[in-house]
Amino acid sequence: MKKVMLVDDEILVRESIRDCINWEQEGFIFCGDASDGELALPLIEQRQPDILITDIKMPFMDGLELSAIVRERMPDIKIIILSGHDEFEYARAALRVGVEEYCLKPVSAADIVRTLHDVGRVIDRERYERELLEKKQFAQGGSAGQLRHKLLSDLCSGFITTAEAIHQAGSLSIGLTASYYAAAISDIRCPEGSASVDMATQQQTEQLLHEAISSLLPGTLSYKRSQTETIWLLKSDSLPQLQEVLARFASSWKEQAERSAGCSIAVGIGSIQDRLQGIHSSYLEAEDDKHWRRLSGQNRKALSDAASGLSEQSVVAQRQRFIDFLKLGTPAKTEAFVASFADGLRQLDWRGAFYGYYLLNDLTVEAVHIAKSIQRNPDMPKEQLDKLQRAMSEVRSQEDACGYLQTLLAQFWQWRAGAADKYAEMLSQVKDYILKHYGDDHLSLNDAAEHVRVSPSHLSKVFSQETGQTFIEFLTHTRIRKAMELLQASNAKSYEIAHQVGYNDAHYFSNLFKRVTGMTTTQFRKQQEQDGSSPAAGGVYHHASTGGIVLP
């Protein structure tokens, strides 16, 4: 039975379609509904419907924008557009984003059922063809184990789309979907001995890790990348649970396995992602994290070995103090911190002992690692790292060490500031683009994404995270704010203003204006005449039904 989801901003339409069709008898499952595209997206991703029925004109995210995003992220979902607008432009736009059917309102339950069966037959045919292809690939590709290894490897390497991964996982009976994902790496190196003993010990250590992880995450997936390395794909519907597993993986479980098997284990942890396609990014971060953890560990060992006359606790305390300042300090406090930190280094022989060099090297590694984690694994300019290396090699005194730490911290503040401004230019371009094109009724997230040369899904995520608004909320606010200015500054009719701010449907514009401001256009104009307030001068309008939309 195929799952169907409905998106329409008119509650009567949703209730009519939902309640007037005997879904189970017709061979379908009604898996939910929503009032606009923005609310529908997380439900679609969670419930994975086979068929999406959506109205074309809705506030906040219309049916065309929703369809474009669904086609990109989940291309196997079939889309049926409902619209009360019998216009060629709407139909052409719908076909352009790849919808399966286009139906005009009013539409009866019988029409919906007939269309659903037509689309259902298309799904059945595609599934049958896909099964034939998968069987052929399975026969040509070898054992299920080899195909499983290739699937997980392709996911981590970014060589496979989300839809392809889900289909292949289904044919191999692998549970792949979840709310959250993360990649991790373990590299097990056993003491030198016979090859057979080393192999057995590595397998034993991997089994200990697998049992520990599976005790909390039964659906954990893994594959061998090399004789010593295992890639782990961790997934869960609980964010705290996944965070706990990653923390234990890098600490207590790693230490327990090392003690039990007598092996050394290097680990790498990637960030938690909320999309299957994010596994690739998490995997790259885990690879980078493993490198930095190993390098940091080597530096700490060398640092401890070279710390003649100093306790290990003293070494750890010194480096931890510096790391805490990197995370919590500010540029204004740099000079005072370096002066205080250097007091503990006055007894060092900078010319004859290696401890000072190892300490500075260790602190540099940590600074670079933290900067890379903040910036999500950028490629650090080689000339910057070379400059630090040269400056470090020239330290011969207490004063030289203070100067180097000042240089290192100054570079770190630049890296951190660069991370904060990472998306500023792109978002500024997007906002400028909206301000220039808000009058275009076809303006969409796709257009803005194309303008700044990123994917629509990436722009949507960044825009929401950095501004606290969705793209369509910002566009709607811009259009309504411009409409308020025009209502106050001109005698244009409401339908004329609607066209000027990007709404070809005057009735839809009027409803949206009232929903956002709490007033009709006529009421708003009368109020402006009475009190002389100006939206551009600070007038604020709010209406509870909008979920807290405020127009400055």
Segment 474-493, tens digit of pLDDT: 898 899 999 999 998 888 89
Which amino acid, 236? S
What is residue 137's predicted lDDT score, i.e. its pLDDT? 58
Q: What is the CATH number of domain 148-290?
A: 3.30.70.1130
Please report, for the chain, the start and end positions of each structural domain, with discontinuous segments joined by +.
2-131, 148-290, 307-417, 424-551
What is residue 133's predicted lDDT score, i.e. its pLDDT? 67
Tell me the two tokens of residue 74: 């989940």
How many degrees, rounded to 5, is the angle at CA 369 between CA 264 and CA 400? Answer: 110
Rounded-to-integer distance, Cα 79 and Cα 127, Å: 16
Tell me the two tokens of residue 95: 């076909």
Segment 184-213, tens digit of pLDDT: 998 887 766 544 445 677 777 788 888 888
What is residue 361's predicted lDDT score, i.e. its pLDDT? 78
Using the CB atoms, write b or e for 291-303: b if 16+ within 10 Å.
Answer: ebbebeeebbebb
Sort 518 into a burial class: Cβ within 10 Å, 0-12 / 13-18 / 19+.
middle
Block means of pLDDT (10 residues each) for the chain, 552 residues, are 89 85 90 86 88 84 82 85 66 65 80 89 82 63 72 84 81 84 86 57 79 84 86 89 86 78 80 84 80 61 53 56 81 88 72 68 78 59 76 83 88 75 80 92 86 78 73 88 90 90 86 85 84 46 37 42
2-131, CATH topology level:
Rossmann fold (3.40.50)
Please, what sign has the CA dihedral across residues 402, 404, 409, 410? positive
What is residue 552's predicted lDDT score, i.e. its pLDDT? 40
What is residue 196's predicted lDDT score, i.e. its pLDDT? 47
Architecture label for domain 424-551: Orthogonal Bundle (1.10)
What is residue 285's predicted lDDT score, i.e. its pLDDT? 80
Local structure of 236: helix, strand or coil: strand
Tell me the two tokens of residue 443: 């303006």
Count CA within 13 A, CB hemisphere, residue 407: 19
Helix (H) or strand (E) holding 264: strand 264-269
